[in-house]
Amino acid sequence: MSVIIEGLNQWSFGPGAWLAVGLGIALAYIVFGIAGFGTALVAGPVLILFMPLSKIVPLLVLLDFVAAFGNLLPSRKDVARPELLRLLPCMALGCTLGVIFLLNLKSDLLLLLMGLFISAYAIYSLWVKVRPTQLAAGWAVPMGVVGGMFGALFGSGGFLYAIYLNSRLPKDPARATQSALISCSTVVRLSLFALAGVYAELPLLLLAGCLLPSMALGLWVGRRLTMRLSREAFVRLVTWLVLASGVALIGRYLST
Per-residue pLDDT reduced to its tens digit, 150-194: 877 776 777 788 778 878 887 778 777 887 888 888 888 888 888
Q: Which parts of 36-135 fold into alpha helices (H)?
A: 39-47, 53-72, 81-104, 107-127
Confirm if 190 and 61 have CB atoms less than 8 A apart. Answer: yes
The Cβ of residue 208 has, within 10 Å, a number of other Cβ atoms equal to 20
- Say how far apart CA 61 and CA 55 lie, in whole Å: 10
Who wins on pLDDT, 93 or 68?
93
At how many degrees (to 10) do helices 158-168 and 171-195 cross?
150
User: Does the pLDDT at position 215 exceed 90?
Assistant: yes
What's this model's pTM, rounded to 2 decimal places? 0.74
- End-to-end, the C-alpha distance of the chain in Å comes to 39
Give how far the C-alpha of residue 196 lies from the chain's centroid of Cα atoms, to the nearest Å: 20
- Count of positions (residues) in the chain: 256
**What residue spans define the domains of the chain?**
1-255
pLDDT-based confidence at 6, cuts 50/70/90? low
Residue range 74-98: mean pLDDT, rounded: 84
Q: pLDDT value at position 231? A: 60
Confirm if 79 and 178 have CB atoms less than 8 A apart. Answer: no
